[in-house]
Structure 1
Amino acid sequence: MPELDMNKKTTALVVIDLQKGIAAQPTQPHPSSVVIKNAARLVTAFRKNTMPVFLVHVVSTPETMIRVKSDASFSRTGPMPPDWSEFISEIAPVPTDVVIGKKQWGAFYGTDLELQLRRRGMDTIVLCGIATDFGVESTARFAYEYGFQQVFAEDAMASMSAEQHHAAINFIFKRMGRVRTTDEILAAIG
């Protein structure tokens, strides 16, 4: 793979759904604890380098949830806990971060993510979060269509199964951008 080259002035980190209600779920191939640790390392490095950090979380309520007929859905045994959409403490927002609330899988549709990235002159995004093939992939597809360069932090994302994670990584993300480890991304931004 070619060496990772990113311009610090035009690269932002976009963290998808590392919130209490989602990060608490079991994930594969990386346990959520590993995803959280690596995402926190990226957040810390981007902040230290004064590079924008976008923290995205689901803020839908039972009244605003998308209700489509489907063969499979996410099952809930009851109401969501009050802190379900709060960010995990390891990446808690600081004043320089941009917080994006969404009501669907992807972080672009129905939000001002694109506007906020463009206003800051960003042309490249580093993506991480849970789940690889839901929130991260949906966001990545929009970013690709909007013309953003993308870097995917493979070990800072996971899904419900290793199969789902690897399918997104190997068949989708490698066609839309560059897949790298957290360490490779950190080395590229110094």
Structure 2
Amino acid sequence: MSFELDPNRTALVVIDIMKRVFSWESQPHPIQEVVSQTTRLVNAFRQAESFVVLVRVASVDGKDFLDPITDPLPSTLLPHALAEEPEDWSDILPALGSHPLDHLVTKHQWGAFFGTDLDLQLRRRNIDTIVLCGISTNIGVETTAREAYQHGYNQVFATDAMNAYSEEEHRHTCTYILPRMGRIRSTDEIVAAVSGKPEASHDQA
């Protein structure tokens, strides 16, 4: 089955590829590989003159972050810290570069739609399809995907440009959740499609 994307109706939405991603361990891909694949997607969408949205989570004092009462998480579900977070932890990774037409979304919870102008910016540009990638697969990416699904967008998931705290969490979302809301594709397939060179598709996690 051929896989095609209309660059005029498709946006790339990159979730939380910030400087903090190097301060804790994520799975199942080497973090530099996720960054590299994301950079390839960003560059391809820019070259196709498609809309690129870079999403980050940030706060001045932390008081606008959600803080519900929860049960303690098992240690296996907590990220493994590798280093102290830099002061500019919420900055988008420089490896992604920048372009004057990129749109920056600052969110204060897991999903990129709630409380932001993302839906407005997409609809004003007549975009009906979004390509999602980023960190983490089962939190920021999955929550944004669920919101996009409820807003009626078609979705494509670059699962080789995603990571989670654990491989189990990543695999669960890619196997049981994302296929209910869109199509699973590799970075290679997405780059080819947005560049006007569609290839035969296959699942990639």
Using the size of structure 1 for normalisation, the TM-score is 0.93
Following superposition, the deviation at residue 81 of structure 1 comes to 3.6
Q: Distance in 1 between matches of 2:120 and 2:66?
A: 23
Say whether the 8 Å CA contact 2:19–2:93 is kept in structure 1.
yes
Choose the corresponding residue for 1:173, options 169, 178, 194. 178
Following superposition, the deviation at residue 95 of structure 1 comes to 1.0
Using the size of structure 2 for normalisation, the TM-score is 0.86
Structure 1 unaligned segments of length 5 or more: list them.
Answer: none
* AA matched with 1:91: L
Q: Distance in 1 between matches of 2:125 and 2:72?
A: 39
Q: Which residue of 1 aligns with 2:41?
A: 42
Structure 2 unaligned segments of length 5 or more: list them.
Answer: 196-205
Q: Distance in 2 between matches of 1:116 and 1:23?
A: 30
Matched ranges for 1:73-112 at <5 A: 81-112=86-117
Task: Call closer, same or farther: CA 1:64–1:92 in 2, change over 3 Å.
Answer: farther
Figure out how many residues of one structure are paired with residues of the other and give that number: 188
Q: Distance in 2 between matches of 1:151 and 1:185?
A: 8
Following superposition, the deviation at residue 23 of structure 1 comes to 4.4
Give secondary structure in 2 for the equivalent of 1:111: coil
Matched ranges for 1:130-149 at <5 A: 130-149=135-154
* AA matched with 1:178: R
* AA matched with 1:112: D
Following superposition, the deviation at residue 90 of structure 1 comes to 1.0
Say whether the 8 Å CA contact 1:17–1:23 is kept in structure 2.
no
Say whether the 8 Å CA contact 1:24–1:32 is kept in structure 2.
no
